[in-house]
């Protein structure tokens, strides 16, 4: 007899090869488009960060809405951050101790003061659906070609998926000019493949906040 069970939450354990390191911060406000300024400060203190293939920066997003308040969209508009907001780095486990030296530092993020507190290590998500808010892309690609390119990249990594959806576009500022990005949702992943996609990310500029995948509740 041959019997193959489906993988489920009780059978699967998320490995700790790559983790999220979440720092408490004191930072009342940040510009909506703060990715370049924040990554510059991190790279000054952690010079290995841009060269580490599995390292990435979570752009601080805050809440989309709540009590009638909606997240501002203009690049120079300000995010007003609650005390629950964290500065989060995605890191290979062997770099956690190195990155923890950010604790106690004060960053100048585009003229906004950010005091970095104690970090907490968190496992990657066990999920079937992942979402990337900022995937660096050629601005000349329309949505259909962007999706085709994303599908090619996922298949090149031998990841299995059933659904893929393109979302909003956004330009991130940099000294070399704007970085065009689109959001991307990928569904129907196995737990193993979802972990791999979180570990590896997609596309360039992960240390600038691009190509980082997070759990999503649904399409």
Q: Which two tokens stand for residue 34?
A: 């703060």
pLDDT by 10s per residue, the chain, length 219? 333 344 555 688 999 999 999 999 999 999 999 999 999 999 999 999 999 999 999 999 865 434 333 455 555 689 999 999 999 999 999 999 999 999 999 999 999 999 999 999 999 999 999 999 999 999 999 999 999 999 999 999 999 999 999 999 999 999 999 999 999 999 999 999 999 999 999 999 999 999 999 998 766
pLDDT of residue 43: 98
Q: Give DSSP secondary structure letters for 24-40.
A: EEE-SEEESS-HHHHHH
Neighbours of 189 (CB within 10 A): 23
Torsion (CA) 167, 169, 173, 176 in degrees, nearest 10: 110
DSSP string, 36-52: HHHHHHHHHH-TTGGG-
The pLDDT score that the predictor gives to residue 143 is: 93
CATH architecture assignment, domain 18-122: 2-Layer Sandwich (3.30)
One fold for 18-122 and 130-215: yes
Helix (H, G, I), strand (E, B) or coil at 9: coil
Q: What is the DSSP string of 125-171?
A: P--S-EEEEEEE--TT--HHHHHHHHHHHHHHTT---SEEEEEEEEE
154 CB-side CA count, 13 A: 24
Superfamily of domain 130-215: Crispr-associated protein; domain 2 (3.30.70.1210)
Count of C-beta atoms within a 10 Å radius of residue 162:
9
Domain ranges of the chain: 18-122, 130-215
Q: Please write the tens of the pLDDT for every residue from 154-188.
A: 999 999 999 999 999 999 999 999 999 999 999 99
């Amino acid at each position: 007899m041959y019997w193959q069970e489906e993988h489920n939450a009780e059978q699967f354990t998320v490995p700790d090869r790559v983790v999220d390191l979440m720092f408490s911060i004191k930072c009342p406000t940040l510009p909506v488009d703060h990715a370049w300024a924040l990554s510059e400060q991190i790279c000054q203190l952690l010079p290995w960060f841009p060269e580490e293939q599995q390292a990435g920066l979570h752009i601080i997003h805050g809440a989309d809405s709540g009590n009638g308040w909606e997240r501002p969209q203009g690049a120079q508009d300000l995010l007003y951050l609650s005390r629950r907001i964290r500065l989060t780095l995605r890191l290979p486990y062997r770099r956690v101790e190195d990155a923890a030296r950010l604790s106690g530092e004060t960053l100048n993020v585009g003229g906004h003061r950010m005091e970095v507190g104690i970090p907490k290590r968190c496992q990657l998500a066990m999920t079937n659906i992942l979402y990337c808010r900022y995937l660096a892309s050629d601005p000349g690609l329309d949505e259909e070609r962007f999706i085709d390119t994303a599908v090619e990249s996922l298949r090149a990594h031998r990841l299995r998926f059933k659904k893929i959806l393109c979302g909003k576009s956004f330009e991130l500022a940099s000294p070399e000019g704007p970085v065009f990005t689109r959001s991307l949702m990928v569904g129907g992943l196995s737990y193993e493949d979802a972990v791999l996609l979180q570990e590896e990310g997609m596309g360039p500029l992960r240390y600038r906040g691009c190509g980082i995948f997070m759990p999503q509740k649904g399409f």
